[in-house]
Amino acid sequence: MFSGSYVALITPFRAGVVDEPALRNMVNWQIEQGSNGLVPMGTTGESPTVTLAEHEQVMRIVIEETAGRIPVIAGAGSNNPLESVHYARLAEDLGANAILCVAGYYNRPSQEGLYQHFHYLHEHSNIPIIIYNIPPRTVVDIKAETMARLAQLPRVLGVKDATGDLTRICQERQLIQQPFSYLSGDDMTALAYNASGGQGCISVTANIAPKLCAQFQTACLTGTYREALVIHEKLVPLHQALFREPNPSGPKYAASLLGLCSDEVRLPLIPVSQATKAEIHQCLEHLALI
């Protein structure tokens, strides 16, 4: 099972191409800082605007550089199940520990359609699956009853919950009896999610403050919620600043201040405004990260 602080990795670019040295450096830095796992090629990795070859390149680099030290959950989501199967098989061949698969966006499937989408992926791949439920982006919501059906599939091992509904985990835990990894997909509400039975977070902020995010998740997992609250409140201004403009423009600018990579993003994303830059800079100084 997966637990703790997993990083929704940004994909560094330089002059329009994947910056391989920066990506390898980030992988090692994340491990040194105490992150529990890496998640390349999710939304934060700008998966919608990389080519198939780049998607494979990023997964290969992250898995290779990680070298089994911590788990890698590779992004393999698509609204086209054939494409998702392709990414799943690729992730398996490269040595990923699991895949992260988003609900069928844009197609707007029914609950039965969502179930069949993931069932097809499950039956045509051999790698553990974490389901990503993020209705604000996909316009469809995997209801608790559907998640419970999916949890019956042998290799559906957990959920990344970015529903914004903090009652959802309570509903799912009533229906899912077997071991299941409940991972928050939202840094701001991860404390409340963990207090309701969650076991970790696939975090954007961990790109920038991995040590604090790992300490926060450890406090939650050990039940020391007073300590977790102290860390959470330290991180709240950074959470807010990083999401002031569309993700991952904020995290990439912050990463550039840390010397990790450039702040380059791909259209239709654009760099953050001067006001947001100032806010992010202030947050990093306050946390003594720069």
Which listed residue (132, 182, 193, 253) is catalytic? 132
Per residue, what are the HEC states of 28-75? HHHHHHCCCEEECCCHHHCHHHCCHHHHHHHHHHHHHHHCCCCCEEEE
The answer to whether residue 132 is catalytic is: yes
Q: Among residues 210, 148, 217, 145, which one has the least CA distance to residue 180? A: 148
Which listed residue (6, 160, 253, 277) is catalytic? 160
Residue entry with tokens 């985990």: 169
The residues, any chain, with a CB within 8 Å of residue 80's CB and separated by 6 or more, are none
The answer to whether residue 252 is catalytic is: no
Task: Provide the Cα torsion 276, 55, 58, 64; round to 10°.
Answer: 150
Longest dimension (CA), the chain: 49
Assess contact for 263 and 274: CB atoms under 8 A.
no
Preceding amide of 135 cis, omega within 30: no
The catalytic residues are 132, 160
